[in-house]
Amino acid sequence: MRNREVVIELNELPPLLVVEVVSESTKIVDYRAKRVEYNVLNIPEYWIVDPLTNKVTIFTLIEELYEPVEFVNTERIQSQIFPELDLTVKQVLTAEN
């Protein structure tokens, strides 16, 4: 997967979760265009991991619209799709255990 762009086709089952990692060159696409693309694909939840602002935003699809919730620092990330997940934003951003 490293050597090609990952594309989700309309005729494929959507993944339960997509995670985007923001960079300076992708931040506008990650925060704006991806929301529309993932909505069309009916992806139930997607995350934006943003090391530029030290936050994780989780977008959950509710009645055909994404509802965002932001998490920062040592806050525990709360996923609707994976409620058993036990991670903080700091752990995600620094790859700590």
Domains, the chain, in order of start with CATH, read: 17-94 (3.90.1570.10)
| pTM for the structure as a whole | 0.84
pLDDT for the residue numbered 15: 86
Number of neighbouring beta carbons within 10 Å of residue 66:
19
Is residue 45 classed as helix, strand or coil in its secondary structure? strand
pLDDT for the residue numbered 48: 96
Chain length of the chain: 97
**Model confidence pLDDT, tens digit, residues 33-71:** 888 889 988 999 999 999 999 999 999 999 999 999 999
